[in-house]
Amino acid sequence: MSLENLLASARSWIADDPDAATRAELEAVVARAEGGDDVAAADLADRFAAFLEFGTAGLRGALGAGPNRMNRVVVLRAAAGLTRYLQDSLARRDVTVVIGFDARHNSDVFAADTAAVVTAAGGRALILPRPLPTPVLAFAIRHLGADAGVMVTASHNPPQDNGYKVYLGDGSQIVPPSDVEIAAAIDTFPTAASVARAEDGWETLTDELAADYVAACAAAVGAPAAELSIVHTALHGVGSATLLEAFEAAGYARPRPVASQEQPDPEFPTVAFPNPEEPGAIDAALELARETSPDLVIASDPDADRCAVAVPDPKAATDADPQGWRMLRGDEVGALLGHRALGLITTGAATGADGGPGVVANSIVSSRLLGTMARAAGVPHEETLTGFKWIARVRDIAYGYEEALGYCTAPAVARDKDGISAALAVAELAAGLKADGRTPVDLLDDLARKHGVHASDSFSIRVSDLALMPALMGRLREQPATQIGNVVVAAFHDLAKGDGGLPPTDGLRYLLADGTRVIVRPSGTEPKVKVYLEAIVHVDGDDLAGARTQAAERLAATRAAMEALTAL
C-alpha cells in the first residue's frame, strides 16, 4: 500500500475510533509519517497490513490503533460478529453471553464494550465482577447456562499484548467451522460506527460466582493425607486470591505467596516474559523456596489457566541449592496427574465428564507416556490436535493435558485447562506421597522403570516476519529429511494432509527408527515455529540412570539436527 493510501486509511480509522487514547496515538504516527519519518511509515504499514485475524484462539495481538492491533474498534466488531453468529445459529435474539477479563491494560474496557454490544443486539450480557482467572469464566458458562463466553486475556503473552478468547455453550473453546463462521459475521460490521452499543442494561455478577467456582474446585479433591507446605507465585496475574481461597476451602494450608508477584500488575515488572515456561520466570519463587524449604513450588501464569510445578530433587542438589530445586517439565506433571487420574478411574472414584467410566487424553505434541500408562491400566486414551479446544471435546474425558503446562483435572468444573484445580490435584498427589515417605520425584522414577524413560524437549524459532513461518514449513515439506541425527526417519507424516489419523492441521511429524519422535508446528498465538522432541528408552534391570543418559544423548543429537534443519 502506498504511503498516500496508508495515510488515508489511518485518517478513516481515526474518524471511526471511539477511544481518545488510540486516536491520539495514531494521529501522532500519521504526523511523523507525513513529515518523512520512515520508521513511522513502516509502523503505519504494519498497523494496516491486515485485520487482526479471528481464529480458534480468538484474537490476540499488541495493543494499539489500527486493524492489525488489539483496540476497541477491533473488539466492538468482534463482539458484534460473535453475537450475530450466536443469534443466527441458535435462531433467537435472546442469547446469553458471560464475559470475563484479566488485569491487563484495557481488559476491563474490552469486556464492557462486549457487554454493551451484546445488550444492544437484544442479548443478555453477564460480566464477571472483577479481574478473575480464565477457568472461572470457563466454569461460569455451564454453571450459568450461557450460550457463549468471552475471556479478555492474552494469557502469558508480553505486557503490550491483549486478547479475546471465545467459548461456546458447552464450556469449551471454539473449533472449526465456528471460527470461520464468526469471522464471516465480524466482516458484516466493517467499522465501529456500524456496531450498536447500549449505554447500560447488562448485569454485573457478584462474587458468589467466584465462590461457587472455588467450592467446585475444592470438591474435586480429597482431604490432604499429610501436611503440605507450598510456595506460590501468580507472576503478577489474577490467580493468587482465587488459588489461596481454593486451597483453604479444600482443607489445605494456604500456599505462601511470593509477595513481589502476588498482586495483579499489567506491566509484569519483575519478569521479562510472564510465562512460567520461560527461563527465569519463577526465579523469585525458587529463591523463596530455598529460604523456606517447602514441599512444592507452584506457579500460575497470568490468567491462571496453566500450572507450573517445581520440586526438590536430591540428584540436582548443589552447594548453593542443597535441596536441588528444579521445575518439572509439562510432560512430567502430565504423567504425575495422569497417574492420579488413572487411579481414580480404575477404582471408580472418578468418571468421565459425560457420565461414562472415563477417558484420558493428551495433545499430539505431548509425551506418549500417558497413552502407555492408560493401556497398562485398561483405561481408554485419546490423542488430539494441539490445544484444549480439542482436548476438552474428547467424549467422556476424565483427565486431559498438554505439555505447555495445561491440565484439565476436573472437567465437571471447567472443560478447559485450569491452573487452579490442577494445583489442588498436584497438592493432593504430593500429600499422599508424603504420607508414604515419598516424593513426586520418586513416583516419576517408578513410572520410568515400569514404562520406560520418556525424555522430552522443545525449542522455538521466533520470527519477526510472519511470512517466514509458512516458508519454513514449506521448505521442510518440499525436502523431507530421511535422517535426523544419523537415525533413519521410519515414517514422515504431513499433518496438514490428515496423515496419522487426525484432522488436518499445519504440522509435520517424524518417527525415527529408534522410537524418537519429532513434531514441527507453527504456534497459533505467537510468532514462532515450535519443535517438539521425545526419546523413549526402556530401563534395563534397575539401570534408570543409564537409560536417562541414553535418552538425553538421543534428545541432544536430535535437537542439534533439527536446529540445523530449521535454521532461517
Q: Give catalytic residues, as residue numbers.
A: 155
Partners of residue 127 on adjacent β-strands:
99, 204
C-beta of residue 49 within 8 angstroms of C-beta of residue 224: no
Cα separation of 65 and 79, whole Å? 18
Q: Which three cell numbers stand for residue 538?
A: 526402556
| Residue whose C-alpha cell reads 530455598 in the numeric block | 290
> Which distant-in-sequence residues (6+ apart) come within 8 Å of 97 by Cβ?
82, 83, 86, 114, 118, 123, 124, 125, 126, 146, 147, 148, 149, 150
Checking DSSP bridges between strand 203-204 and strand 325-327, what pairing results, if any?
unpaired
Handedness of CA 330, 332, 337, 342 (dihedral sign): positive
- Report the SS3 class of residue 283: helix
C-beta of residue 398 within 8 angstroms of C-beta of residue 358: yes
Cα separation of 511 and 423, whole Å? 33
Helix orientation angle between 330-346 and 440-451, rounded to the nearest 10 degrees: 80
Please report, for residues 126, 325, 534, the alpha-carbon distance to residue 552 in angstroms, rounded to integers and kept in the order given: 50, 20, 10
Q: Which three cell numbers stand for residue 383?
A: 490423542
Please report, for residues 223, 344, 362, 549, the alpha-carbon distance to residue 348 in angstroms, rounded to integers and kept in the order given: 18, 6, 21, 38
* CB neighbour class for 417 (10 Å; exposed up to 12, middle 13-18, buried from 19): buried
| Residue whose C-alpha cell reads 521445575 in the numeric block | 327
| Residue whose C-alpha cell reads 488489539 in the numeric block | 70
Cα separation of 148 and 145, whole Å? 9
| DSSP per-residue letters across 448-514 | HHHH-EEEEEEEEEE-SSTTHHHHHHHHHHHS--SEETTEEEEEEEEGGGTTTSS---S-EEEEETT
Q: Which three cell numbers stand for residue 461?
A: 524459532
Q: Which three cell numbers stand for residue 197?
A: 452499543
Checking DSSP bridges between strand 148-152 and strand 96-101, what pairing results, if any?
parallel
177 cis-preceded (ω within 30 degrees of 0): yes
Cα separation of 280 and 433, whole Å? 28
Q: If we measure between CA atoms, which residue out of 123, 275, 118, 304 comes closest to residue 210?
A: 304
